[in-house]
A and B are shown apart, each in its own frame.
Chain A
Amino acid sequence: MAQIASFVAGLVFGLGLLVSGMASPAKVLGFLDIAGRWDPSLALVMGGAVLVGLFAFRLAQRRPLSVLGLPMRLPEDRRTIDRRLVAGGLLFGAGWGLAGFCPGPALVALGTGSLQAVLFVVAMLAGMGLYELQTTLRARSTAVAPSR
């Protein structure tokens, strides 16, 4: 049941990206190009999503268990602002601005059969893998280092 709900959520999310035009990098870059001919569409996509999200997440946050009886896994921390958060955002934003792809649209573009999307997604997975590798190595080096 949880799997079916996940599939439907992914499907509706993807349809939203297609309807809004955000599955296409050219449209996203039109928004990010504020000094050129600016396309404000993405702001309305965010606005529309948050408008619905405000209601839905209020409902969700009040529940001790999800409707399907699963534990609520919404992050408790809404305040911690650290270097990781900002540096990660900046790196991601730079990549987003270079190609016009963020993770969701790239996966939807994959489904349209775009070879360029395949290349991007493989590189994105490699980037995620590099992060995992880096955290593993870091955890190992602190575990081995003598305690002070």
Chain B
Amino acid sequence: MTIDWTSFTPWTALAGGMLIGLAAGLFAVLNGRIAGISGVLGGLLRPVRGDLGWRAAFIGGLVLAPVAYALVAPVPLPVIGAGPGTLVLAGLLVGFGTRLGSGCTSGHGVCGMSRLSLRSLVATAAFMGAGFVTVFMVRHVLGA
């Protein structure tokens, strides 16, 4: 293992992480819910009366974050290497997998681990493990 010191950004990572924890914690204290993005988004696909407003508002906040960020500093644009086919396959897997496993990086990774949930720890280990293996296969075995 070689650490990429030029890309490593410990302070912004920690600060950004704390903002994420603050957002998830605020949401739990104020709204009594888990800020799991896949769950919030997935719930929009099976509409229940009176349950759509807060979901849409949360997603709206996420999508508009770059607009708010732009008021202070230039927005760091996402660097996306994957081609269209890979993006579609990845999207299908992420969509189906997060609903089957009841959560993603936010729901299981951030909220679940903060709640000391064993279930979420196992889910996080599963998706992290699969992520490591997939990147290893793509970059070092297939050499894409």
Contact = CB atoms under 8 A, between A and B. Distances in A.
Nearest to A88: B101
Interface string A70-83: 11111101111100
A111 B67 contact: yes
Interface residues of B, number: 114
Interface string A125-148: 111111110000000000000000
Contacts of B106: 13, 102-104
Given A16-B22, A37-B4, A127-B92, A92 B130 contact: yes
Interface in B21-46: 21-35, 37-38, 41-42, 45-46
B21 A66 contact: no
B76 A24 contact: yes
User: For the complex, would chain A's binding face be called helix, strand, loop or mixed by DSSP majority?
Assistant: helix
B63 A66 contact: no
Interface residues of A, number: 118
B101 A87 contact: yes
Interface string B94-134: 11111111101110111111111111101111111111111
A12 B17 CA distance: 11
Interface string B52-77: 01110111111111111100000111
A108 B64 CA distance: 7
Q: Which 8 A-B pairs have the closest CB atoms?
A: A88-B101, A56-B25, A127-B95, A20-B16, A14-B65, A10-B61, A93-B130, A123-B91
Interface of A: 2-27, 29-30, 32-42, 44-57, 59-61, 63, 65-68, 70-75, 77-81, 84-112, 114, 116-117, 119-132
5 contacts: A26-B81, A33-B136, A57-B114, A109-B80, A123-B91
